[in-house]
Chain A
């Protein structure tokens, strides 16, 4: 397959898988942070937000120490199953997941917190459990914020570079997502091929940001 097309396809696959998990875990953590009080809440918030501000290489380094063949967890996984996530597309997806989740958590937490507590309490007095109230009241009312968070996370996941390079490497035809392919193209002087992907990236990211702004600005039920 044409290397450029492969990179585009791989990037989409990695970002979609990462975003899928970001939606699930991001919403769950955001709900916890927005609705519950428990010891260590602020610590959890900091841990979840950290990848947003850390250099991606630091995030990648931590993941490598955890999941490498000799890593804290990785050695057991390797000993038990013979599998290592290193230098696979799954590693790229994991990095994208970790790095883009803060965007979801932040946006979703704000969206959940903006739902009037009275509405939740009203639902409780009518006999609805917390889970039922979540799906029938919280989710519909927070949905634009959640959608905006999803789009931002997807855009971030698509652009993930540093941590991916550390954990997944840059293996042509295997783990070279678009950002990595652009880097490799520039390094080897293939400017014209890089240009195409650069333009594509700028256009896509601009469109995502525009959509996210549009969504976040409107009321949930309008």
Chain B
């Protein structure tokens, strides 16, 4: 069980070449912008359909160049939270969440939706439109919408990047509790925020220039960077002196 992949894609001026696997855990892809993290997520989800290799989820081949398999995103059962959240502006909070429940029986979906609204502390916001709610609430709607169908895998592409710091901390706690206690779905989170990687990850992969240059438990990676590049990436002191060391 879990996710296994090997992706090689040649793009103008950039080559993505990664191979890794994960179990039922929260895996963080960490690295600078443009290092291939989002591209990896898009390939897993089937939104980007170029390149070689394979993507295998829970023993099911989603993509394989050799076997000529390339399932469309519709058939992959993957929850995806985009960086800009991609809430549907013409749908209310409830409609947005329910939209995620395709293929679920209507009554069950409504019950599940009410449950998620409670879980993500959204009561009272059900009939509001995305432009009427706060950034943190939008975030929680996006999570609820991605989780309602109980996907086999959850992909989070820098989901907290648009929030300010206090809210970001709160959302991280919210996400952790939901994932550990309520859903237990394998999750890949992309970030270039070192603190986020450190606090959320069960395991970290360090991305650089389209390759994985180090992987392991957060403490291992952050305490024993394999080379200068990782050192500069994970240097908490340089990046976050205000929060951690004052």
Binding site for B on A (CB under 8 A): 116, 118-119, 121-129, 136-137, 140-141, 219-221
Contacts and interface: CB of A to CB of B under 8 A. Distances in A.
A125 B45 contact: yes
B102 A125 contact: no
Most chain B C-beta atoms within 10 Å of own C-beta, residue among A124, A129, A140, A141:
A124
A125 B78 contact: yes
B192 interface: no
Given A126-B100, A126-B149, A127-B103, A119 B73 contact: no
Contacts of B46: 124-125
B102 A127 contact: yes
Given A127-B102, A140-B90, A221-B90, A121 B84 contact: no
A122 B129 contact: no
Interface of B: 45-47, 72-80, 82, 84, 86, 88-90, 99-100, 102-103, 129, 145, 149
Contact of A126 (B72, B89, B99): B99
A124 B102 contact: no
Contacts of B149: 126-127
Given A116-B86, A221-B89, A121 B103 contact: no
Contacts of A124: 46-47, 72-74
Leading 7 A-B pairs by shortest Cβ distance: A221-B90, A118-B86, A122-B86, A124-B73, A127-B102, A125-B80, A140-B90
A161 B243 CA distance: 73
Tell me whether chain A's interface is mostly helix, strand or loop, or mixed. Answer: helix
B42 to A, nearest CB: 8
B47 A121 contact: yes
B94 to A, nearest CB: 15
A141 B73 contact: no
Contacts of A219: 89
Contacts of A116: 84, 86
Contact of B90 (A121, A122, A123, A220): A220
A120 to B, nearest CB: 9
Nearest to A121: B47
Contact of B88 (A121, A125, A129, A137): A137
Contacts of B73: 121, 124-125
Contact of B102 (A118, A126, A220, A221): A126
A122 B102 contact: no
A124 B129 CA distance: 21
A119 B88 contact: yes
B80 A128 contact: no
A219 B102 CA distance: 27
Contacts of A220: 89-90
Nearest to A129: B74
Most chain B C-beta atoms within 10 Å of own C-beta, residue among A122, A219, A220:
A122
Contacts of B74: 124-125, 127-129
B45 A141 contact: no
Contacts of A221: 89-90, 129
24 contacts: A116-B84, A118-B84, A119-B88, A121-B80, A123-B99, A124-B46, A124-B72, A124-B73, A124-B74, A125-B45, A125-B47, A125-B73, A125-B78, A126-B102, A126-B145, A127-B74, A127-B77, A127-B102, A127-B103, A127-B149, A136-B99, A141-B89, A221-B90, A221-B129
